Structure formats: structure tokens, C-alpha cells
Structure 1
């Protein structure tokens, strides 16, 4: 055994060991990819909406012809499920107001879903002529401004927008909002009340100027006088939608006399159909509904008589244009030469920037991760566990140092008759030191993983508890994509990546200290080169972490935008398909994904920059160790030289992952409470400053 054989073999084995250490991770990645592929394949193979279920013609229906035809239609929510609508025969001529009534669960909303093609058509045919607008029973509002929600991708027509807002009783609400029509609706319309969201959903449909309107109980969330105003000004015979085909699902039975035709549904089938007077004379299902609604104490299906005071709604909260019409009009259509207009409007219609809720970048922290963030994680791990982990890493590194030094002594043993006299003892001790190092390394890694599990559990519980106790204002200002990102991707980083990066950081930090110690002890002259290299290591790490943290924050913010848009699109899928707006939403999703990937590219470049520079510094350390060994060869043994050079070579293959981990600490959600204390005294309350 000589120094040449011993340390060359040891160096080669170290290189192979670090290479094969990636094999389990590769296998894990392959298995994870297979599982993800199977889940995606199962999702993509699910039943989809049949685009041919409804024969939709884009041309408008001629006068005195049927715009909607359903013949022998049988529909189900899925092909394997039982039918929810049976043998539906329905024709609706152009300009007709058709009211659909019936008890709860009779299939009223299902009928509209069938006309939209959302149900599986088992039998029959459905045809619609002209563009369709749809108002769902539960209003869907985008996290954009009021004007963008109403226009919904259409070209802005200020005069038509003004008429629509007035008819939908939104004028008083627009006047009370802080930024007028540019006020952000918030996540799921959090800054608006239920009635405001429902009227905004109705205004979106009215602004569309469609030929066919499918209205799923749009009056349910409105006050009595506001509902009467909306019906008279929008849906009724003299409303904005006069001349269009309207199917109104309603529980407000007092509006039925103004309907051209009434359909009564029971158990998924049409019980009777005709005008209001005809159905009263038949004394059938409609009369039963009216009698049930008149019974005292009955929750009923709706009101049978219009509320008092609705004939002149101009003075109500949801009334028509007040007397100060010109002043209010300036808030919608500003005049460039009017200071009053600018003060009321805030921003012009074509400049929605600068109003509404703060954007994600406004709440984003900058610079390096603060030390308190690391201390929070270490406290979650626990002080005893942290100290125990450091002690185990120190022990295994001491065992590694002793093993290498013992090998150098073994290589320097004299040879007698071709054999070393203490070979057996040297071999047993070398093997024992190797076993101790392996045990210490295993124990230290296990401790890091256990600490990571403990920390991730405590942090997740704290995050969940803080979000659950957050006030309503927190959810108004925090997009759903942020919450999804924190509870999915960034929680996965805390669960998996941070413990792994912490393990790598400790391994390479202790390894670098061992290398510096070995090189300086074996060749003291190398201190002149080692100290500057360590300073450069620290400088590169500091520069990298500062930029990497910000890049990861930007990447996280862009990913949150993607999650928010996907969640919002899924929630409004029915409305989007009804308005035939799939193309713009797909384009928006692609743009957000591209932006997210565009931010990820500089981070990858920064990683490669760090890897190249640390590789250069590692080569510099090896060169310094070899050069100093050559200069000091007169008083150095071959074994000590081999120990020094082989130790320096250990920093070459992958020195960077431990330093990369410093930039992976996720940034917290803003606005969450740190502690909660409940105490009430002379309690007063108000809505948020947005006027909701």
C-alpha cells in the first residue's frame, strides 16, 4: 500500500459515490413522473362536454320564427347517471319572455344547462339561433374592475354601458365605490355584496347585446324593490331586453303575469305550459304553486304580489337615474377639460391602472431573506434537535478526517520484504473509522429529515390556523392563487426541498472546513491562497442569494397569477362557454404561463453562474494545494501530500447545492394575524373602505 494507490483509489471511489448518490433521486423522479402521467391521463380521459349537443347558429333568428327548439329532449348530468330531464318539447319564438317555474329540484336550472350544452343529451335535439348570454344562479365575478366585468372582452361603448348600469340598478353602487367603475371587484367579488354581484352578472349579459338570454333566477339575491326595478328596466316587456328571446327561471311568482309564456316543471318534466291566464283557468300545477306560496308561514317559492312602492322606484336605493344625472355621468365619461370630472372619475376608462386593490408586486418583499425567517424555521425544528444535528455532522466529519489521516499514515509505513508490518492493524482501524463515519452520516441525515418533518408540520398548522382566523379584509386583498400557491407548491418546498437543502448545506460546509483544515495543516503555505478563496466563496454566495431570492419571489408571484387565473376560469367555466369566450381565456392562461416561465429562466442562468464560479474556485483550491505540496516536497511525506490533494478534490463535483438552498425560503402571506384576542365593548361596525 503506497500513497499513489491509496489516494487515487479513494478519489475515484469518492467520485463514483457522489455519482451513484443521484441514482435514487433519478429513480424517484421516474416513478413520480409515471404517477403524474397516469393521473393526467385519467383526467384527460374523463367525459367532456359535447360541442355538438346543441345546434347553435350564430345568425340571428328572423322575426316570427322560433329561436329555441327542443324536441323530445332527454338529458342527464353524465351518461352513466339517470336522466334529470325527460322528453322535453319546447319552442320559444323570437322576442318571447318565457318564465320557468316549479318546486325546488324540479329541473329548472338543469333546463338552462341543457340549452347551453352542459348536460349529456341522451335523446332528442336542441337548436338555438343567435348569440347567447347567460346569467347563472350564483353570480361569477372576475377579479378585475367593474367595467371589465361588464364589458367581458367586448369593445367599450360608454353610452351603452351607462344605460346598462342604470337599468341594472348599479348607478348608486358605482357612485359609492372608491374608484367608480374602475374599482376592483376582488377575489370572487369579495368587495361587492351578493346583490351587487348578481346585478353585475346581469349587466354583463345585457351589455353583450345577444339574441337569446338564459336567466337563472337573477332576482333571487336582490331586495324586493331593487328586483322589481331590474325586472321592469331589463327583463320585462318594456326593458332593455325587449325584442330578444328570454328564458327566465324564477321563484318570484308576482312577475308571471308579465311573461308571454310560462312553463311549469315537475320532476324533470314539463307539467304544463301556456300563458298566465290559461294556466289559471286550468287550475293545475301553477295554481298549486301559487296556493303554496300564499300559505302563511310557508317559505314559499317566491312572492305572489309585487311589493308596495315599486311602481316608482326612482327614490329607492336601486332606482333609476337621480336628478343629478349630469354630475354622475361625468364619473363614467370624463371630460378632459373638467377638473370636477377628473376628481370624480379618478382615471379615464381606457386607463384602469392605479386604482383598486394592490397588486402582488406591491406586497412583495425585496432583498435577502431576513435572519428572523431562518430563526423561525430553526425554532420550529427545535433547539435540542438543531444542536444534536450539528454534533452528529461534526462527529462524522471528524471520523472522515481521521480516516483520511489514518490512510496517509498507512501509506507512509515502511515496507519490509514487500509487506507492511502493521497492515492488518491499519486495515481494521481504517474500516472501523469508515463504519463510524457511515453511521454518523446516516444519523445526521435522519436527524435533519426528522427535524424537517417536525418543522413543516408546525409551520403548516400555523399557516392554516392563521389563515382560518384572518379577517374578511385579508381574503379581499389576497388572490386565491396566492393561497393555492402557499398551500401547495411552497408547502412542498418546506416539506421536501428545505430539509434536503439544509442537509446539503451542512455536508458541504463541514466538508469545506475539513478541506481547508487539511490543506493548511499539510501545507501551511496554502493559507495564503485558501483565505482569499474562502472570501470569494462567501462573496459569490452572498451575491447569488440576494438575486436568487428575488427571482424566486418573482417566480412565486407569477405562479400565483397562474393559479388565480386557472381557479377563476374553472369557477366560471359555464359562463365562459355560454359567451363563447374560451379563446380569450386560453390566450390569457398561455400568457400567464409564458410570463411565469420567462421569470424562471433567469433563475436557471443564475444557478449556472454560481456553479461555474464555484467550480473555478474549487479548481483554484486544488491548484493551490498541489502547488504548495510541490514547493514543500522536501519535508512532506507522500501520504500527507496525497491526503491534502485528495481532500481538495472533494470540493469539485457539486459544491453548489448547499449554497443554492439559501434562496429557497418561501416568503409568507401578507396580512395574516400573528395572534388573536377577542374583546368587545360598545361595538360598532362598518363595511370595508371599498364601499361593499
Structure 2
């Protein structure tokens, strides 16, 4: 509706409408159509091209064009075309395979501002992350590989320090056995190179790969298992950010920082040992030096971690904007809004880079402070070297002073490495947040798990005082819903937009958990809250308004578990009238389904119906499954439901009354309540009923079978 309002307010001389009214209920559709195309409609005086499958709208058209298989078949007034004997039931609506109208509706919505201020995404923790990121990383990399990597890096650090001891001993030989010492030195270096290579391989090729793959898998599993409310409150850009940039930072920045930190801490410990052995009293100088470095570290990391949070979070609005731009590209070009989106892209790109520049400036500040400290240490050591030249063994003094000289540099490197490690741990902690999302199954983990061949055996459904709200401080979307569906009945659910029809379906699938949902829902005597979610949901098949087919072969879409023979798949395709269409495809059942392709929207919906037939479940739910289909495809779906699903319990949410007029029972909803229920004949016999009004607005006065 936002896209439709945008088209009206654009006040362009030409207006193209691609079936924008199909998802509206009868009353709303009639009101909107009258407001746009009536005698005083908002689109009066404009040239309008309306793509539609609703034949009732054609009476208001000055000219009608009938398309079939990409060709113009008829062009004239409705009366002229009707006089030729043309059957309008064969109309196939024109739908773009590229975009979802509901998504394009949202193209101009500035979600980025909301996303940027989201407390979950942009929350900045001023507290230390503790050991949680490191423990989580060890679990993802598996502890044996993580410990092996740390030990190998520590070994290289110790071997590097060992070279200094070797050189110290060599310096005391006065030139004796020079060849042997050279050979030993070469062997020592060769061993160090091998150990260093193994450490690098262990961190980059083993630990990093295992950790990133494991973390990605854990994130995906957590997202699949978490409560649906998480996706209602979290944008796609935020989720993409967690699955892409955070994984990259853990894979690259955190892993390298961990390796460097292990190396630097090992080297530092070795230096302290050398200093203590050579000149024990020099160890006292380490205390103020260490305190100074720790103070600098605490001052820097308190800011750098916050900037790292901002840097990562600031990418999400950019990803969301890019995704919205690609989805609504046709609409953007149609309105000439390219400059606006260029400006928005530059704005969010600039905002995403600000934390990076601030982090870079902070790093330069840190290096400046560390260099200043190193200068002070170097001057102090020069004075010490002169004062101790006669009282200490020159070789030990040289070893101690050289290590003390390098200590300032080593502490600087350690400090910078630890800062990078802490910054990298921010990404790991964000991944851990996704991995720790609450799972739906937790609330019913102790529920019964009935065997899927034995339950449900009939398909009887009962609702008793069911209430549902999306947030505790909002008005209920369902308010005291109660009804009883007998096994094998076909139930039509109708009502105006926002009346609670889809919320009722959500409650049936237990899409929300207590306290957001209450009451009693049973299937064949088993209550939802006492049954595990997996078996409960697998007891039902669902077909929604927008055909859900994933990017895979046709065979995998029909039979994801690959348990059925091809003959069974072809039989299901034949029952829904898709056998000939699939036969014409070059790869037949191996044809990959993608966003484009040669299948129309109606054909994709029939494939979803074929999948329902293959699953053979006793309860089938249709949520606006035919609202955007042409009359011919709609009739085919109706035929399959009446024949192939004759023994199943069917619940159909519908705006088009014709699709449910022959059902056994009708539920009419309004403001979250069932205001009318009965057979279609009973409700149509009452001219004051809401159902009669809905049906009359679509030209229906009696069931088609009467």
C-alpha cells in the first residue's frame, strides 16, 4: 500500500500498477479501487496501465489488453473482447520474477536509521568482555587444535630466546670450535624456521578454518532454531553483518592477534627471566615500567573496544540500504530517485568509515605514547651501562641490558597486540550472541514426541480461549478465539486486513511462546504446549501467498530428503497440472529454481501444492495461497484441494471469497475475534452478515455448487 500511495502522490501523467490490490480483502480492495478509479478518484485525468487478474476491474477500463504467452491476443473494450467468446478465466497475470512487491513497497523506507539505533546491534559495552570470547573461540576451533597452535607459537618464542643464550655461550669460547658453533647456529635457526612455519600453518590453515566454519554453522543453526520474534525485531542487514563481517574479523584479525599475543607474551617472559638471572636488582625497574604500560593499556582499550563495536555495527545500515536498493531497483529508476539513493549510500558509507578513522587515530596516539616511554627507558639504560661496567660479568650484563633495552619495545608490541586481540574479541562476542539466541524448542523440550506415522491420524483441531499478542504492552492480535474443526473439514477464514487471520495461523503453528500466547490448542487430543515443536509443526503443511522455493533443483524442492522415487514426483506434478510444464524444461527435475527462470508465479505455487501432496499430512493450511493467482490457476488449486486432499483437514485464509465459498465452514474475523461462523449457505442467507457483505462486494450471492 505504501508503494501505491507513492505512485498516487507522484502525480505523474502515466501510472503503471502491477496488480497492487490482489493481497487486500474485499472491502479494502473495493474502497481503494473506488478512491483511485471512481468518478472523483485520485487517478482521474491520468493515463493508467493496470495489470490485474481480477476480471471485475475490467469494467472500469477504457481499453483492455489480453496477453498470453508473451503475445498480445486481444485489444479493445471489455464488450468487444467478450463478444468474440474469449474466456477470461484463462488470464495469466503478469508478475515480475525479479522482485517481491511487498519488499519493493519498503524500498523508500528509511530502515537504516532505526537499525543504526537498535539497542541490540549498536549497544556499546564499556565492560570487559572477559574470557567468554576466548572460551567460545577455543570451542569453535576445538581445544586440541587451539592448544596445539598456542604451544607451537610459544615454542617458536622460546627458540628465539634460546638463540640469544646460544650466542652468549658462543661469545665465551674465544674463537674455539668456530665451525661447530656455526653449524649449531645454523641448525638452531633451521629448527626455528620449521617451528615457525608449523605454528603459522596451525593457526591460519587449521585453527582459523575450523573455527570460522564451526562458528558459521553454529550461527546458522541458532538462527534457524530461535524464536520468530527475533526476525521481527532484527533487520536482514544486521544478520548479514553477523554472518559475514564478524566471521571475517574472527577468521583474520582475531586469529592473527591471538598468535601474535602468544608469541609476544612468551618472549616477554623469557626476557624477564634473562634480566633476573643477569642482574636481579634490575627486576625492580620492571614494576613501575609495567604499571605505566598497564595504565596506558586500560586507557586505550576502554575507547578502542567501543569504537570497534561502532565500526562493526555501522556496516548494517549500509548492507540494508544496498539490499533494499537492489530489490526495488525498477521502482527507483521509474521514479528517477537514483540521486537520492546515491546520496543515501554515500551518507551511510561515510558513517561506516568514521569509527575506523577514529580507531586509526587512537592507534597512532598509542604508538606515540609507547615510543616516548621507550625513549625514557633507553636513556636510563645508557646511564646504567656506564655505572655497572666494572661490577658485573660483561656477557651477563650485555645479555641483561640488551633484554631490558628490548623490553620497552616488547611491552609496546605486547600492548598493541593485546589491543588488537581485544578489538577482535568484539566480533567473536557478537558471534557468540547469535549462537546463544534462545531456542524455541527449549520451552517444550520435555514435551511428548508422537510418532509421525500415527499422529495426527484424523486432523481434528480445537481452539479454546486462545489469546495472542506480539508484545506484552500491545493490544492482543487474537482475543479469546475458540472453535472446533472436525477431521476432514475444509474451513475458510476471512475478514478485513488486520482482523487477525494470519495471527490465527501463527498461533496454530505455535510461532510465539508464552506469555505472548495463551489458551489451549489441540490436534487430535494432543495439546500444543505439551508437544515438542518439531513434531507439532511437521503435522501440518503450509502454503503461503508468495511461493516458497529455495535455490535448488526442482527435485530437491519437492523432496528435500530425497526419499521418494521420480515416478512419485512425476505423479504429484501430474495431479497439480505441472507435468507438461516440467517436461518442457531442459533439465526436467534437475532444473535449478532461482529468482528468474521460466516458471510463472502461478506455476511456482502449484509446485508448492505438489510438495504438499508428497508430504501426505492430515492438516493443510493455505494462507492467502491463491490471492495473487489467475483464475485458471486458482481453479486448478481448488480442484486439487477437493480431490487429492479430500480426506485432509484444510484451513484456508482468503481475501477472495470465491476460493472458500464451497468450503464446509466459514470463520469471519474482526479485530482479533471470530464474529461470525457457519456454513456458506447460512451466512449468505443473512443479508446483515459481514460474510454476505464481503461476498457481495465480489459479486457472489450464493455458493457455486448451489
Structure 1-normalised TM-score?
Answer: 0.57
**2:51–2:93 Cα contact (<8 Å) kept:** no
- Aligned equivalent of 1:374: 134
SS at match of 1:601: helix
- Tell me by how many angstroms 1:645 deviates: 4.1
Structure 2: how far apart are the matches of 1:427 and 1:512?
27
2:391 counterpart of 1:635:
yes
2:290 counterpart of 1:534:
yes
* 1:155-190 Cα distance to aligned partner (Å, 9 max, x none): xxxxxxxxxxxxxxxxxxxxxxxxxxxxxxxxxxxx
Mapping for residues 516-535 of structure 1, pairs under 5 Å: 516-535=272-291
1:405–1:382: structure 2 CA closer, same or farther, 3 Å change rule?
same
How many residues align? The count is 429
SS at match of 2:165: helix
Structure 2: how far apart are the matches of 1:458 and 1:588?
36
- Tell me by how many angstroms 1:238 deviates: 4.0
Mapping for residues 7-406 of structure 1, pairs under 5 Å: 199-283=1-85, 287-290=86-89, 292=90, 359-361=117-119, 363=121, 364-367=123-126, 368-406=128-166
> Match for 2:437 among 673, 677, 683?
673
- Aligned equivalent of 1:181: none
SS at match of 1:677: helix
- Tell me by how many angstroms 1:621 deviates: 4.2
- Tell me by how many angstroms 1:507 deviates: 1.3
Structure 1: how far apart are the matches of 2:387 and 2:365?
33
Structure 1: how far apart are the matches of 2:117 and 2:328?
22
> Match for 1:480 among 236, 242, 259?
236
- Aligned equivalent of 1:142: none
* 1:635-684 Cα distance to aligned partner (Å, 9 max, x none): 33443343334434555387134532221221426676244526379985
Structure 1: how far apart are the matches of 2:297 and 2:323?
38
* 1:279-331 Cα distance to aligned partner (Å, 9 max, x none): 22233xxx2224x48xxxxxx879xxxxxxxxxxxxxxxxxxxxxxxxxxxxx
**1:395–1:440 Cα contact (<8 Å) kept:** yes
SS at match of 2:66: strand
Structure 1: how far apart are the matches of 2:192 and 2:181?
16
- Aligned equivalent of 1:314: none
Structure 2-normalised TM-score?
Answer: 0.56
Q: Return 5+ residue gaps in structure 1 as ranges.
A: 1-198, 294-299, 303-351, 415-419
Structure 1: how far apart are the matches of 2:46 and 2:317?
38
**1:380–1:454 Cα contact (<8 Å) kept:** yes
2:237 counterpart of 1:438:
no
Structure 2: how far apart are the matches of 1:483 and 1:203?
30
Structure 2: how far apart are the matches of 1:404 and 1:301?
81
- Aligned equivalent of 2:664: none
Structure 2: how far apart are the matches of 1:506 and 1:250?
66
**1:235–1:242 Cα contact (<8 Å) kept:** yes
Runs of 4+ in 1 over 6 A off after TM superposition: 355-358, 680-683
- Tell me by how many angstroms 1:395 deviates: 3.1
* 1:197-220 Cα distance to aligned partner (Å, 9 max, x none): xx2221222233332211001122
SS at match of 1:248: strand
1:211–1:688: structure 2 CA closer, same or farther, 3 Å change rule?
farther
1:633–1:357: structure 2 CA closer, same or farther, 3 Å change rule?
closer
Structure 2: how far apart are the matches of 1:402 and 1:599?
42
Structure 1: how far apart are the matches of 2:114 and 2:287?
54
Structure 2: how far apart are the matches of 1:640 and 1:589?
62
* 1:252-277 Cα distance to aligned partner (Å, 9 max, x none): 01121121111112333322211111
- Tell me by how many angstroms 1:616 deviates: 3.0
Structure 2: how far apart are the matches of 1:202 and 1:400?
71
**1:515–1:647 Cα contact (<8 Å) kept:** yes
* 1:324-349 Cα distance to aligned partner (Å, 9 max, x none): xxxxxxxxxxxxxxxxxxxxxxxxxx
- Aligned equivalent of 1:661: 421
Structure 2: how far apart are the matches of 1:279 and 1:395?
87
2:373 counterpart of 1:591:
no
- Aligned equivalent of 1:158: none
Structure 1: how far apart are the matches of 2:27 and 2:257?
62
1:565–1:466: structure 2 CA closer, same or farther, 3 Å change rule?
same
1:523–1:644: structure 2 CA closer, same or farther, 3 Å change rule?
same
1:390–1:281: structure 2 CA closer, same or farther, 3 Å change rule?
closer
**1:559–1:596 Cα contact (<8 Å) kept:** yes
Structure 1: how far apart are the matches of 2:141 and 2:379?
40
1:276–1:385: structure 2 CA closer, same or farther, 3 Å change rule?
closer
> Match for 1:546 among 302, 312, 324?
302
2:336 counterpart of 1:580:
yes
Structure 2: how far apart are the matches of 1:395 and 1:356?
50
* 1:76-98 Cα distance to aligned partner (Å, 9 max, x none): xxxxxxxxxxxxxxxxxxxxxxx
Structure 2: how far apart are the matches of 1:438 and 1:626?
33
- Tell me by how many angstroms 1:247 deviates: 0.8
* 1:25-72 Cα distance to aligned partner (Å, 9 max, x none): xxxxxxxxxxxxxxxxxxxxxxxxxxxxxxxxxxxxxxxxxxxxxxxx
Structure 1: how far apart are the matches of 2:78 and 2:439?
60
**1:629–1:636 Cα contact (<8 Å) kept:** no
Over the aligned positions, Cα root-mean-square deviation in angstroms equals 3.0
**1:576–1:582 Cα contact (<8 Å) kept:** yes
**1:525–1:628 Cα contact (<8 Å) kept:** no
